[in-house]
A = this chain, B = another copy of it.
């Protein structure tokens, strides 16, 4: 079984992509809604929470764990790999790899939470492969609350996006990584503000693609059970969380509090 955890509900964009791309695998999702958001918190706190989330998934039988949260991927991947035996897949490298493939000018923009931007992980990952590439990062801390409010098409959201994206536009990037699992819900607004020539990279989709390749190369890692089961758990459940979840999946969702 594939285990996926996130700081809350944003990581469901990864779960949805995995459901679509790998329909023959069971998955278990754990969203830490009771402690959300991770983005503004310290690395040590994010590491502690990530260990707890991974333990929950391992108890449920996870044979592989996806960290479906950019903030946790940025600061907790190493700690989880040291502590646990199962493969740990994070959302940074798949998105960084795709950005390297796609960018022609070598000018790449990154938007994410404070934790992600402060970790500087995207720049480090990209320039390790392409030392001459320029990576420009912008923390966008208000986007998660705006998405969770459902303000997906409000004037204020557009203005805030314009303010955040302006410095990246100035740098004439040709590729922009949506470095937070909430941001795909704002994809169209972001595209309109950053300009049509800039290619957006959705870390959710890239991670699901990477997982598919990984399982093709290592088919023994995750066993297939029939019937396929998709189980969704969370540490808390609120109306807003359910609304965002149903917006992501376009179907009624069941979320078990655990």
Query: In the bound complex, what is the Cα–Cα distance between A160 and B142 (angstroms)?
Result: 12
**Do B156 and A145 have beta carbons less than 8 Å apart?**
no
Residues of the B chain whose Cβ atoms lie less than 8 Å from the Cβ of A33: 41
Chain B contacts for A237, CB-based, 8 A: 42
A34 within 8 A of B: yes
A44 and B42 alpha carbons, distance in the complex (Å): 25
Chain B residues within an 8 Å CB radius of A61:
none
Residues of B within 8 A of A149 (CB): 141-142
Name the B residues within 8 Å of A42 (CB-CB): 236-238
Q: Mark A224-258, 1 if CB is under 8 A from B, else 0.
A: 00000000000111101000000000000000000
What copy number does this chain have within its complex?
A: 2
Distance of A145 Cα from B145 Cα, bound (Å): 7
Interface size class of A (residues with CB under 8 A): 20 to 34
Within 10-33 of A, Cβ neighbours of B (below 8 Å) are at: 33
- Measured between beta carbons, the chain B residues less than 8 angstroms from A44 are 236
Closest B residue to A159 by CB, please name it. B156
Q: Select A160's contact among B35, B156, B238, B240, beta carbons within 8 Å.
A: B156
Cross-chain contact of A35 among B34, B141, B145, B240 (Cβ < 8 A): B34
The distance in angstroms between the C-alpha atoms of A146 and B42, with both chains bound, is: 19
CB < 8 Å neighbour of A238 from B41, B145, B155, B159: B41
| Closest partner residue, chain B, to A115 (CB atom) | B238
A163 at the interface (CB under 8 A from B): yes
Measured CB to CB, the closest approach of chain B to A146, in angstroms, equals 7
4 closest pairs, A vs B, by CB? A145-B145, A45-B236, A34-B45, A42-B236
- Interface residue ranges, A against B (CB under 8 Å): 33-35, 40-42, 44-45, 114, 141-142, 145-146, 148-149, 151, 155-156, 159-160, 163, 235-238, 240
Q: Can you list 8 A-B contacts (CB < 8 A)?
A: A40-B238, A42-B237, A42-B238, A114-B238, A114-B240, A142-B142, A142-B146, A145-B145
Known: A155-B159, A156-B163. 16 other contacts (CB 8 A): A34-B41, A40-B238, A40-B240, A41-B236, A41-B238, A42-B238, A44-B236, A45-B236, A114-B238, A114-B240, A141-B145, A142-B145, A142-B146, A142-B149, A156-B156, A156-B160
